[in-house]
């Protein structure tokens, strides 16, 4: 859990004397300000992409390994370890890119083989 800065309360008392000539009282306006924490950078974990690759395209088990790194990245993000989440997310991203490129190459190769087989059987 994050530790937020404590709120600061400033009692604004006027200096000098009030209108009646007596010393100023401590019943002046009070200003309370809260320090808002900055936005936490959102790290990507690529779980959906990894799940798709592990279900539909899993050459050399790269999709499953990407899914493992994606889950690790999500766990690190929940625990507050942003550096670990960034590191595991980057590994999952690289594995997903490799898996997707292999999927595209396999689909193109299958289409080319089908075209070659159809063209040779018709002639």
82 or 2, higher pLDDT: 82
SS3 content of the chain, % helix, strand, coil (to 5): 60, 10, 35
Give 80-108 pLDDT, tens digit per residue. Answer: 899 999 999 999 999 999 999 999 999 99
Query: In terms of C-beta distances under 8 Å and separation of at least 24 residues, what long-range contacts does 100-106 make, across chains too?
Result: 100/49, 100/53, 100/57, 102/57, 102/59, 102/62, 103/53, 103/56, 103/57, 103/59, 106/57, 106/59
**Most confidently modeled of 18-32, 47-61, 84-98?**
84-98
Where exactly are the structural domains of the chain?
A: 47-122
Q: What is the pTM of this model?
A: 0.65
With 80 as the cut, is the pLDDT of residue 123 above it?
Answer: no
With 70 as the cut, is the pLDDT of residue 52 above it?
Answer: yes
């Amino acid at each position: 859990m994050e530790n937020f800065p404590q709120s600061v309360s400033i009692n604004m008392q006027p200096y000098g004397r009030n209108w009646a000539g007596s010393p100023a009282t401590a019943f002046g306006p009070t200003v309370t300000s809260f320090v808002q924490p900055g936005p936490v950078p959102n790290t990507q974990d690529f779980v959906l992409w990894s799940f798709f690759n592990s279900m539909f395209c899993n050459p050399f088990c790269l999709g499953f390994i990407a899914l493992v790194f994606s889950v690790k990245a999500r766990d690190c993000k929940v625990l507050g370890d942003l550096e670990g989440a960034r590191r595991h997310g980057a590994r999952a991203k690289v594995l997903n890119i490799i898996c997707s490129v292999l999927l595209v190459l396999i689909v193109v190769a299958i289409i080319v083989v089908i075209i070659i087989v159809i063209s040779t059987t018709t002639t």
